[in-house]
Structure 1
Amino acid sequence: MAKLGKINLVNEKESDGADVEVTSYPVEKGVPITDHVQRKPETTTVSGYLLGKTANSDYEYLKKQAYAGTLLTYTGRKVAKNVIITKIDRDTGDYTNGFAISIELQEIRIAKSPWVKKKVKTAGKKKKASKKKTKKSSKLYHKVKKGDTYWGCARKYGTTVNALRRLNPWPDRRIPIGVKMRIR
């Protein structure tokens, strides 16, 4: 008994292979020089049977997974993780409750990036600002210096110009220097 994804199948034969690609360059005299060997993905071939009432739906499921390129895990005499179905054949010969099946699987190697997303610490600042906004009973004042305006203080303390106008008696262009301007 073997399992491919969520499908159980009766495996009769299992074979696997490992290939490499070798590059060769001709030289003037003698045998070509080989300077590179590249590993190819491992392959597994499974021959067996899909049996029972669900044999046709299991076959359709496996075809769908092959067309979608879904990563599967094969567990039989050997275990192959992160494989895709590259070929699927069935023989509906003299079988009463199912059919013979042959499946070729190929390993998919997933690259892991060394890149890590940097965490931004602005979320912490927003939480502190929201705590200040929830405390409506606490009053906050700013001592006015030369050049201070409602607009500048609104940006500095995260409020609006209209809120500052409501809390303070001075007109926009005549805020006295040295007074305490109410912010909240």
Structure 2
Amino acid sequence: MAKVDSHYILVEQESPNFDVDITTQPVEKDIDMMDHVQRKARTMGITGVVAGSGASKVLAYLKKASDSGQIVKYVGRMAFTGIISGLATGHTNQIANGFTITFTMTEVRVATSSFAEKLPTPVKAQAIKIVNSGVKQTKTKTKSKTKTKTKTTTKTKTKTKTKSKEPVTKVKFKPGSPWS
């Protein structure tokens, strides 16, 4: 018996896959030169049977986890953490209260937050780039359906006051501190 999170599955076969990308360059004689190897995400194919009174709950959980991209933990002959893809079920007359199941788990790496988030506020102001998109003009429609011969023009000047921001002072830390 194996478990996906807390749901039991009778697993018949686990097929782990350890692929890599190899960059090759053609040469005039002999075989191509290989100059770079990069690891791909690990995958594992799982085939098995889900049977019993809770089979529909297990299927509903696996569908939800697959559709939402939820990271699940699989523990069987091997332990694997990843997302479920390629979920397929088979419903035959050989299994009365369940179904056969086949799916692939793919390894996932979750990005962590930037180190700038952990900095003190004065230093964070210096580390993060300030983006200013400037002043934007709005378009107004001034089309009239009736024609008039008199033209009126008005000119108005508006003054806008800009708030002056306090300058950010640079902070100096002691040598050996994490932010020096």
Q: Fold match, TM over 0.5?
A: yes
Alignment of 1:42 with 2:23, yes or no, is no
CA distance in 2, matches of 1:113, 1:28: 47
Partner residue in 1 for 2:60: 60
Partner residue in 1 for 2:84: 85
Partner residue in 2 for 1:25: 25
Gaps of 5+ in 2: 123-180
Letter of the 1:4 counterpart: V
Q: CA deviation at 1:6?
A: 2.9
Equivalent residues in 2 for 1:1-184 (5 A)? 1-81=1-81, 83-93=82-92, 94-112=94-112, 115-116=115-116, 117-120=118-121
Change (3 A) 1:24 1:118: same
TM-score by length of 1: 0.60
Secondary structure in 2 matching 1:63: helix
Letter of the 1:90 counterpart: T
Q: CA deviation at 1:78?
A: 1.1
Q: CA deviation at 1:9?
A: 0.9
**1:109-161, Cα deviation, whole Å (9 max, x unpaired):** 2344561421348xxxxxxxxxxxxxxxxxxxxxxxxxxxxxxxxxxxxxxxx
Aligned-residue RMSD, C-alpha:
1.8
Percent of paired sites with the same residue: 35
Change (3 A) 1:37 1:104: same
Task: Work out which of the two has the higher radius of gyration on C-alpha atoms and give 1 or 2.
Answer: 1
Q: CA deviation at 1:80?
A: 0.8
Secondary structure in 2 matching 1:70: coil
CA distance in 1, matches of 2:113, 2:23: 28
CA distance in 1, matches of 2:90, 2:18: 27
**1:3-29, Cα deviation, whole Å (9 max, x unpaired):** 112321111221211000111111233
CA distance in 2, matches of 1:112, 1:40: 20
Secondary structure in 1 matching 2:35: strand
Q: How many residues align?
A: 120
CA distance in 2, matches of 1:24, 1:11: 38
CA distance in 2, matches of 1:111, 1:22: 25
**1:70-126, Cα deviation, whole Å (9 max, x unpaired):** 111101111112x000111111112111111112101112344561421348xxxxx
Q: Which has the larger share of helix?
A: 1
